[in-house]
Amino acid sequence: MLTEVAPPAPAAPGRRAQLAAAWARPDVRVGLLGAVVAVLVAVYLFTDVPGSLAFALEIRSRAVAAMLVVSTAVGVSTVVFHTITQNRILTPSIMGFDAFYVLISTLIVFVSGSAAFLAVDELTLWLVQVTVMVAFSVLLFTWLFGGRRRSIHLMLLVGIVLGVFFRSLTEWMQRMLDPLDFQVVSDAMFASLTRPDETLLVLTAVLVAGGVALVLPLRRTLDVLTLGEPAAVGLGVEHRRVVMTLFAGVSIMIAASTALVGPILFFGLIVANLAYTYAGTFRHAWTLPVAVLLGMVCLVGGQLVLERAFGYGGTLSSVIDFAGGLFFLYLVLRKGAR
Amino acid sequence: MIALENVTKRYGAQTVVDDVSIRFGQEGVTALIGPNGAGKTTLFSLVGRLVRPDAGRVTVGGLDITRTPSAELAKVLAVLRQDNHVAARLTVHDLVEFGRFPHSRGRLTVEDREHIERAIGYLDLGPFRHRFLDELSGGQRQRAFIAMVLAQDTKYVLLDEPLNNLDLRHMTEIMRLVRRMADELGKRVITVLHDVNFAATWSDRIVAMRDGAVVADAPAREIMRPEVLAAVYDTDVDVREIDGRPVALYYG
């Protein structure tokens, strides 16, 4: 009688191989990152409470909300900007957004004095800054991209020149300020995340959500744009219309979040580039959320370390600028080496 | 048919394409030859709607390219450009998938996947499908881009200097593929070529441009004459018959 010989069981895939296979999946990676963010947020909210938990929660959840809004605005706009410009070492700040924001603040103090600057209610100030920044970017964009001439490079170049111009103008005005006024201006020059005004926070969140709503339906078209303009046009992308829409989204998000917390765009560079590596795919359906989550890790984690480990009440943005500068150098040098 | 009617394109004071009227797209392979700066690439860019003509009209399969939605045109016309630098890290499969974008807008259907498989198989890219583009040799890369164009499943295919930077073997390989695409799949291929011998060997019709104008347009054999080539390139070209095939000698 023939006994059926069981074929040798296929070697069970090792734990290591299983893990590697799971790690290769973008959804697993995003899930893990989301878990890390959740833990960080929980630690930030619930540990080291000095008095009433309810009070601490109210203050802190507002800070977390601000960080989420800023991470979304900066992460999404930087990734989109990289894809439009086909360049991964730029941030939208190259268009002079940050410089313009500081210029507006300085100008107000310069013209009407710090007392008036502090007296203006925050909502009015925010509205003015958002409007002026959006108007500026729309003008620049339609001038250099909307007409017959349409060159993203020309637009970037003009943006850089204008940025330098704004900075020099700001510096010149700041030199003429009296020390007290200068103090007020320099406070405005560094991003501050921990004490956002509630109304402004809600308004900013609405604008940022609007920007995301413009960008997100175009995520697959963004994938095609990674091939560059000629190939994308060949594949049926209405390049001009798509880029206009994307740029409108970027401007709105950047203007709103910069007006809320101050200049913080440099941090988008770190977050976006880490996102490309971490997501392991060029697809925007993954790189966009990863950039936002990594932004949360940086901001919440950074704030935790600053506040709890060093007992430092200062602004996170100076640390981010320092770390961002080092990372930028690393990116440039690595690009050069290849 | 791809039809250009009195098309003119100027860059500043320089006229790059000068009142050109021509029809492309009968069956087979058409080669576009001419010296550097003759306007070949600009002509392709005009048809590929990357630049707008200053005067004249371009139609592809009866569709006016300025009035037809870009996505519709992308279903009948595929263009492979000369310079295909990609900033992101893509695999061969990712790239070929992009060819389906005009049809699926990025959401692949079963039919899209069949087209992708067929294109990858047709270009023998199976073993490389999960390789990144920057890990491929020049010939493999070029094949990957042609697979993308094939997956786009268009009647008309424009190839701008597909032999750039390839060695002898890969040049021949690509031209053989182009020929097969025309003969087996019925593609109407129009390709810019610099080597007139490749043009004569593999194409049915040769169009020669110079100074923004079409100066010769005839079956391949008739173009391969010393006086015609000399007029096109403004340099002496000798043509000999070898094994019944005209061969241009222009190595000085």
Beta-strand runs (E) in chain B: 2-11, 14-24, 28-33, 55-60, 63-64, 77-80, 156-160, 188-192, 205-210, 213-219, 238-242, 245-249
Q: What is the pTM of this model?
A: 0.86
Q: Is B84 on the interface with A (CB under 8 A)?
A: yes
| pLDDT, tens only, A61-109 | 888 898 899 999 999 999 999 998 888 888 888 777 788 888 888 888 8
Number of domains within chain B: 2
Nearest to A30 by CA among A238, A207, A293: A293
Contact A98, A263 (CB under 8 A): yes
Q: Which of B71, B73, B81 sits opposite A231 (nearest CB)?
A: B81
Q: Say if residue B139's pLDDT is above 60.
A: yes
Q: B70 and A233: CB-CB below 8 Å?
A: yes
Q: B81 and A234: CB-CB below 8 Å?
A: yes
Co-location of B18 and B69 in the same domain? yes
Instruction: Sort out which chain B residues have CB atoms less than 8 A from A238's CB and list them.
Output: 69-71
Whole-angstrom distance, CA of residue A212 vs CA of residue A218? 10
Contact B100, B116 (CB under 8 A): yes
Q: Which CATH class is domain A52-191+198-337?
A: mainly alpha
pLDDT band at residue A257, thresholds of 50, 70 and 90? confident
Q: What number is the average pLDDT over the span B73-79?
A: 90
Beta bridge partners of A288: none
Q: Give the number of beta-carbon pairs within 8 Å between A and B.
A: 67
Q: Is residue A144 classed as helix, strand or coil in its secondary structure?
A: helix
Residues 6+ apart with CB under 8 A from B45: B51
Question: In this predicted structure, which of A194-203, A324-333, B228-237, B242-251 has the lowest mean pLDDT?
Answer: A324-333
| Tokens read off for A210 | 């609007």
Question: What is the predicted pLDDT for the residue at A1?
Answer: 46
Co-location of B185 and B245 in the same domain? yes
Last residue of a domain, one of B126, B153, B180: B153
Q: Say if residue A188's pLDDT is above 80.
A: no
Whole-angstrom distance, CA of residue B174 vs CA of residue B162? 8
Q: Residues of B numbered 112-131 whose beta carbons fall under 8 angstroms of chain A's beta carbons: which are they?
A: none
Question: What is the predicted pLDDT for the residue at A137?
Answer: 84
pLDDT band at residue A149, thresholds of 50, 70 and 90? low
Co-location of B104 and B127 in the same domain? yes
- Domain boundaries, given as residue ranges, for chain A: 52-191+198-337
Co-location of B161 and B114 in the same domain? no
Last residue of a domain, one of B131, B153, B175: B153
- Which carries the bigger pLDDT value, residue B121 or residue A312? B121
Give the residue numbers spanning the domain of B46.
Answer: 1-76+155-252
Whole-angstrom distance, CA of residue A210 vs CA of residue A79? 17
- Per-residue buried b or exposed e for A65-90, using 16+ beta carbons within 10 Å of the residue's own CB: bbbbbbbbbbbbbbbbbbbbbbebeb
| Max CA distance (Å), chain A | 105
Whole-angstrom distance, CA of residue A298 vs CA of residue A312? 16
Q: Residues of A numbered 269-308 whose beta carbons fall under 8 angstroms of chain B's beta carbons: which are they?
A: 276, 282
Pairing label, strands B238-242, B245-249: antiparallel
CA-CA distances (angstroms) from residue A99 to A67, A103, A204, A264, A278?
Answer: 21, 6, 20, 11, 31
Instruction: Sort out which chain B residues have CB atoms less than 8 A from A88's CB and list them.
Output: 87
Q: What number is the average pLDDT over the span A213-219?
A: 93
The DSSP 8-state label assigned to residue B144 in this structure reads H
Mean residue pLDDT of chain B comes to 87
> Residue A84 is inside which H or E element, if any?
helix A53-85
Chain centre distance of CA A3: 67
Question: What is the predicted pLDDT for the residue at A10?
Answer: 53
Whole-angstrom distance, CA of residue A137 vs CA of residue A146? 12
- The whole-angstrom distance between B229's CA and the closest CA on chain A is 31
Whole-angstrom distance, CA of residue A303 vs CA of residue A159? 32
Q: Which of A220, A223, A233 sits opposite B50 (nearest CB)?
A: A233
φ/ψ of B132, rounded to 5, equals: -80, 150
Q: Say if residue A272's pLDDT is above 80.
A: yes
Co-location of B181 and B250 in the same domain? yes
Question: What is the predicted pLDDT for the residue at A13?
Answer: 62
- The whole-angstrom distance between B187's CA and the closest CA on chain A is 17
Q: Which of A224, A227, A233 sits opposite B49 (nearest CB)?
A: A233
Q: B48 and A220: CB-CB below 8 Å?
A: no
The counts of H helices and E strands in chain A are 14, 0
Instruction: Report the chain A residue with the minimal C-alpha distance to residue B151.
Output: A235
Q: For every residue of A3-26, which 3-state class applies, written as one string?
A: CCCCCCCCCCCCHHHHHHHHHCCH
- The whole-angstrom distance between B102's CA and the closest CA on chain A is 6
Co-location of B8 and B51 in the same domain? yes
Co-location of B145 and B181 in the same domain? no
Whole-angstrom distance, CA of residue B144 vs CA of residue B152? 13
| pLDDT, tens only, A114-140 | 777 777 777 888 888 888 888 888 888
Whole-angstrom distance, CA of residue A185 vs CA of residue A147? 37
Question: What is the predicted pLDDT for the residue at A312?
Answer: 66
DSSP state string for B51-105: S--SEEEEEETTEETTTS-HHHHTTTEEEE-S----SS--BHHHHHHHTTHHHHT
Contacts of A90-94 with C-beta under 8 Å, sequence gap 24+, read: A90/A156, A90/A269, A91/A265, A91/A266, A91/A268, A91/A269, A92/A250, A92/A254, A92/A265, A92/A268, A93/A163, A93/A263, A93/A265, A93/A266, A93/A268, A94/A156, A94/A159, A94/A160, A94/A163
For position B171, which CATH number holds?
Answer: 3.40.50.300
Contact A74, A271 (CB under 8 A): yes
Co-location of B96 and B55 in the same domain? no
Co-location of B160 and B235 in the same domain? yes
Last residue of a domain, one of B110, B134, B153: B153
